[in-house]
Structure 1
């Protein structure tokens, strides 16, 4: 009995397990059938007349069945078979939604995405017209343009319409309206006054895109202008040249000249015989296109240009100085100053001062500044060469230098003593000279500079009194010069 129950229990458990697994399998299969996802991609951005690739490759179902695709664009369905990608062109600007529908043969689902297509302005391709015409004669002008994708292999025209405006530069204009794919506009005009006219053509599409182009026409007899030869000068120099008008009739002209260095156009005086002279200073290097324009009663009657090449001139260092004057003691601060000039008054400058002891300093000055200065001190006695290098912002460079002397007063005292010890003079005089200097190092050690200077002056007076008597004059001169040099050093303290 016990054995039967055990077998029965085991059988029931196994049966329950199989039923559970079967139900689970049936549930999973139903879920697969219900899982179909449509993905329209996007949002899509582009320009009218250019191809946009619509991408539905993110669509799927879990069973892996083949899918079919179609797109709803502007209210119309476009079948795309089993292909998830489709190229589409909008021929006008557009902003809105498109819908993707995906089917696996049993189930169908959809997805939407946004599309924004921007307008493309028209492009003017060519202009055809006369460049010279007589007064009161009819003048024709045509403009050829395109709107869309001007690919020579497969041009795609937009659906835009157009307005074309011809502005004749005499206060009048002509407007035309063109339909879609009408890309040629022509108009005519009659000028009743001689002159040079700058005609402007404006093409505007129905979405606001715009294209502009200009055309110059010479009407009637106008003055021929000769601006003179090209010139080459240095910056800061006076440009002198002359030109003339080829017209010799009785017409009264006025003229303007623009030197194109940001000084602006200025009146140009016409001499007898319609000649003119240039006199202008270019303050910075560069290549300038000088323009002369001639007018009659406000209408331009001719123009010409000349090229002026202006060379850079390097700056010039005018002076170098130190204050107070050298020699100096070690550790004493002094000021170095350099002045310079540059005919290129708009130039900025970089200044490098090398002190001669391995250290240097640099700075940049603004235009118009012509003096630089800096302070420095030396740690040891010696002769130092200060070198200043000045560079303008156009590559011009100038260099100058000066020497400063740094002396140690204690060393100078020892030098005087060595001179005295080597003199062949009476012993008593030698001892007096040495004793007068004995206290100088002690005074300097305790920073009693004025007392040390007073002592040295007393020494000089004593030597001057002995010169030529008990002390040879040449030897006295050496002692006096050495002591005075030492006083000069102490004065910088």
Structure 2
């Protein structure tokens, strides 16, 4: 009885030989046809792993009665990957890393060299693994400058995962970042200085995420004003800042601006769309250094200067109306107002009154004041000249028409005296508003005599002796060189004065003889008196003188 197990399939010729102990043999053959037997895999247990981790076949053994068979094995990992496994002592070895989480049906196939196969499956449950960001170093930058993520790389064993990233820049801005070759790429410009906590988040397509933070220290940058061109203007005119624009990389900064106009005035300016707006009127000419300063809310400043050349503007007098007045009365400037855009200018004024008199005028509240009395009538051209402290002038003229004023005599007191005595004018003074007038005076003494009088210091002097007694009306008349006159009267009461005979010598004669009166003289201050003469002979007889001649001497 004999047994044999064929190690491989095939058709085998089996020869049976029998021999005796003497060397005799007998041989018979038959064919043994051996069928192939497929290998048999043991059942496979399900497995779990994390994506990216190596998953190994565990307990994957097989048997095969075909001892001489050779074998091959493959593993379909269920993720599109099929690979040959290693066989050693009828144990299969293989490893695989899944690029993404999921439940995968893994199929293990063993085949012998005759085509017999055995297939077993198990489920590989792969868990997701979150990506892992590297630590991020703090960064420094200036506001407005781009800050880029540095070293923001990550790993993810789920090499088939897709990823997204966001960056919260800590200033209220959150944005999606670019992911390339497991590096997070993003840039940002901060609108204001400060210390910002930047948060970088990477997420895979399965919801796994990694978060890292770093501090961005952002320094303030001062605003920068554009260069300012010099300007020219006239005093009193508005000058506006031109091209006073500025930039500031700190887009969130707020700003204030001041303008020092160089004349002692500093004021806050208006800012609109990063343009400084301000206007100013200079009160005096000159070259002024204007300084514009812009300041951000963090104290950063920038200043620019330019020269404002301000030209003087002459003052402007208003037109002056003609005036009329009487000589000696006060003529005042009327409506002599002026304007001057140079409101810091000082001014002087002079008035040429047209009569040879020029005098300084008073200025108050931009009005020229002056007074003048004309000493004579006439039409005078009055010129008012105004000058500012920079030498610019303006002049206006008007005509002052001055009427003559008659002189005025004082009232004269009545007088009395004797005929033949001298009468003098008493207190015959007069006034005349025309201080430049010349005068003549006459006295009508009321007795038919009119004579020129003497004038000294506006006092009329004259003397007269009346030749006869009576009451006379004397008229004193003063006349100026323009024909105007004034008169004053007074009464003169003249008393008669008796004539006076000269002494007569004693005469000796004899009775009966004729006595002859010697020549006799007399005086009489009343030189206009007429006279009669009588003689009383002392014997009771008297007679007109008749042919007796009396001789009169001068009466004054």
Choose between structure 1 and 2 for higher RCO, CA contacts under 8 A separated by at least 6 residues: 1
Larger relative helix fraction: 1
Q: TM-score, normalised by structure 2?
A: 0.32
Larger relative strand fraction: 2
Q: TM-score, normalised by structure 1?
A: 0.36
